[in-house]
Structure 1
Amino acid sequence: MTSTTSLFSPVEADLCILMENLKSLIGARHPVLYAAAEHLFGAKGKRVRPAIVLLVSRATLVDQEITLRHRRLAEITEMIHTASLVHDDVVDEAELRRGVPTVHSSFGNRIAVLAGDFLFAQSSWYLANLDNLEVVKLLSQVIMDLAEGEIQQGLNRFATNLSIEQYLEKSYYKTASLIANSSKAAAVLSEATPELIEHMYGYGRHIGLAFQIIDDILDFTGSTEALGKPAGSDLKSGNLTAPVLYALEEKQFLETLIEREFAQPGDLEQAIALVKDGQGIERSRELAMYHTRTAIDHLAVLPPSASRQALIKLGDYVLSRLY
């Protein structure tokens, strides 16, 4: 199985610069917010999103060095992602993220909400300073999409009539929008052709959806240790994902368990067993494979390079997390 370290070797040096810059961008003016941010950026994250931005930047600028604006875009992408995680953890009342205590469990809800707001505001300020209106619009849309995804998820808790299409739309807002629009923005900064820019958006959109579907499968098949949070936590909170929605088509009693919100002892364990027993996980795997293949197809327009190859291999890595 490919590790992200070897996968991102074309941008390994770029990612080291990114980590140093992120800490200095947040600044030490607010000690508690700085401590919260350092806590986040010090966590064992894979930095997949900024790595994709840097790889797209290099793949669309073959034989040229990436600019400081490309680097800043990657930093902004990680700041937006981190801000959304902080707020997600407050909403979900999650105690762990990537196996370490969440900001709100370490610093309290008030500081966590403010730390998330602070990171969103900082990212917006640095975004405006890129001085590229199209890029500003793309990343501003992401911030709106993240909120839209959270609202949709909140309104559809324990909703057994949710369709796969609605699930994918919410997954786009919550996960794929950031990868899609930041990939597109990287190509815009490279002054790529309109066709190439759209293909980079397509790559980000489909790889982002595959990521989310696989995360949702791992919520049933992964260990608590590997997930960094308790297995089955999405289902417990009423967030119905692809494996559950597919299982609902064949396991009628699952609907009863979900609609009574696992009120009786053993309900949650029974629901997880029903999901694992049916075709839901396998059908979700097929859905993830479709989106991964579609993402890779969008890379055909790029000239050969180590960065293009890494973007292709990322698709293999995404799927390898299933096995």
Structure 2
Amino acid sequence: MVSKFIFSTISDDLHSLNQNLQSIVGARHPVLHAASNHLFAAGGKRIRPIIVLLISQATLNEYNIKPEHKRLAEITEIIHTASLVHDDIIDECLTRRGTKTVHNMFSTKVAVLAGDFLFAQSSWYLANLYNSEVVQTISKVITDFAEGEIRQGLISFDFSISINQYIEKSFYKTASLIAASCKGAAILSQVILKEQNDSYLYGKHLGLAFQIIDDILDLIGSTKSLGKPASSDLKNGNLTAPILFALTESQKLQDIISQEFENTEDIKYAILLVHKSKGLQKAKDLAEEHIQIAIESIKFTRKNSIYENLIYISQYILERLY
């Protein structure tokens, strides 16, 4: 499998990361500690720290990456996890990664505090990298999360939004963290500015592709494969790429969405209409476009043996559909 090939060069670092995540967020309060442990024990794809570790190897021209790179990978996963805690509250998700969400297991109050605590911990560890450029690059991500969430809330059930608006929102909610983390890794490797910016573009377009694939899976995947309830985005009025493409073909789909799924069978019918349209294929094509831009952006590492892994991780993102 592609994933095994990718993980082979970073398996030890990934193992250490999984161990460190549970200890790195050791909270003094037992409830916060329990909430943090609950989050990281649930696992996950760890796609973001994997990308950070691979970029670190590719920009260092060696397999043995610095402790700062490993810490950045951990910070990236903590920030991502904190954002999921808050997202789950807003979206009223009951499960995540096959287990109860924090607000469902504890309370909404504890979940808000746990998310805030993780953001605070990530900021503290970020500051302790003692690299102002990396701090500036990564710290903007938390602002972007809020921007993305606000944008998403303002356009719920609004089928007049454009694909460009969808891409902008997807950048703020998903791609911003991957892009900033890739650039942060390149900064720590002390490569030239152009290569730092190319690393950013790699992460940005990889992140956009990842989000588009996630949005396709929300309509065709199972709760088990998604790590959260299927069709949750659509139920919440979050109109994603496959839905937006399908809307251009179906007046009936527009009618159902404008009524905000008032009938019990409307969600199933809406999904059926999307499947009958070219929406899923057009969304997949869009994801592939972003993957190609990402691969083009990272060509400066092609003399490094890790370059192939950076291409494979791109393919792995697309293979999640199969």
Question: Does residue 147 of structure 2 align to residue 148 of structure 1?
Answer: yes
Aligned to 2:137: 138
My pick for the range that moved more, 161-170 or 25-34, is 25-34
My pick for the range that moved more, 153-162 or 226-235, is 226-235
> Residue 64 of structure 1: CA displacement?
6.8
Aligned to 1:207: 206
Label 1:225 to 1:17 Cα distance change in 2 as closer, same or farther (>3 A).
closer
Question: Does residue 68 of structure 2 align to residue 65 of structure 1?
Answer: no
Aligned to 1:107: 106
Question: Structure 2: how far apart are the matches of 1:184 and 1:153?
Answer: 26
Question: Structure 1: how far apart are the matches of 2:175 and 2:223?
Answer: 24
> Residue 266 of structure 1: CA displacement?
1.6
Tell me, yes or no, if the aligned pair for 2:93 and 2:229 is still in contact at 8 Å. Answer: no
Percentage of identical aligned residues: 57
Q: Which secondary structure does the structure 2 equivalent of 1:217 belong to?
A: helix
Q: Deviations over 1:165-222 (max 9, x none)?
A: 0000000000000000000010001000111111100100000000000000011111
Letter of the 1:111 counterpart: V
Tell me, yes or no, if the aligned pair for 2:179 and 2:201 is still in contact at 8 Å. Answer: yes
Label 1:46 to 1:64 Cα distance change in 2 as closer, same or farther (>3 A).
closer
Label 1:274 to 1:64 Cα distance change in 2 as closer, same or farther (>3 A).
closer
Aligned to 2:261: 262
Tell me, yes or no, if the aligned pair for 2:22 and 2:41 is still in contact at 8 Å. Answer: no
Letter of the 2:23 counterpart: S
Tell me, yes or no, if the aligned pair for 1:10 and 1:306 is still in contact at 8 Å. Answer: no
> Residue 305 of structure 1: CA displacement?
3.3
Aligned to 1:2: 2
Q: Which secondary structure does the structure 1 equivalent of 2:2 belong to?
A: coil
> Residue 250 of structure 1: CA displacement?
0.6
Aligned to 1:175: 174
Question: Structure 1: how far apart are the matches of 2:81 and 2:230?
Answer: 22
Q: Deviations over 1:31-70 (max 9, x none)?
A: 1111111111111311110111111111101137322211
Gaps of 5+ in 2: none
Task: For 1:1-323, list aligned pairs within 5 A.
Answer: 1-3=1-3, 5-63=4-62, 65-323=64-322
Question: Structure 1: how far apart are the matches of 2:77 and 2:264?
Answer: 40
Letter of the 1:136 counterpart: V
Tell me, yes or no, if the aligned pair for 1:234 and 1:240 is still in contact at 8 Å. Answer: yes
Question: Structure 2: how far apart are the matches of 1:226 and 1:70?
Answer: 30
Tell me, yes or no, if the aligned pair for 1:80 and 1:120 is still in contact at 8 Å. Answer: yes
TM-score under structure 1 length normalisation:
0.97
> Residue 28 of structure 1: CA displacement?
4.4
> Residue 238 of structure 1: CA displacement?
0.3
Label 1:230 to 1:23 Cα distance change in 2 as closer, same or farther (>3 A).
closer
Question: Structure 2: how far apart are the matches of 1:142 and 1:73?
Answer: 14
Label 1:225 to 1:64 Cα distance change in 2 as closer, same or farther (>3 A).
closer
Question: Structure 1: how far apart are the matches of 2:10 and 2:21?
Answer: 16
| RMSD (CA atoms) | 1.3
Label 1:310 to 1:192 Cα distance change in 2 as closer, same or farther (>3 A).
same
Tell me, yes or no, if the aligned pair for 1:56 and 1:187 is still in contact at 8 Å. Answer: yes
Question: Structure 1: how far apart are the matches of 2:282 and 2:63?
Answer: 42
Letter of the 2:37 counterpart: E
Gaps of 5+ in 1: none
**Number of corresponding residues:** 322
> Residue 256 of structure 1: CA displacement?
1.0
Question: Structure 1: how far apart are the matches of 2:64 and 2:230?
Answer: 43
> Residue 261 of structure 1: CA displacement?
0.5
Label 1:270 to 1:7 Cα distance change in 2 as closer, same or farther (>3 A).
same
Q: Deviations over 1:271-316 (max 9, x none)?
A: 1111111010010010001011111111211143343221110111
Letter of the 1:181 counterpart: A
Question: Structure 1: how far apart are the matches of 2:318 and 2:62?
Answer: 30
Tell me, yes or no, if the aligned pair for 2:9 and 2:63 is still in contact at 8 Å. Answer: no
Question: Structure 1: how far apart are the matches of 2:272 and 2:186?
Answer: 45
Label 1:132 to 1:315 Cα distance change in 2 as closer, same or farther (>3 A).
same
Question: Structure 2: how far apart are the matches of 1:112 and 1:260?
Answer: 32
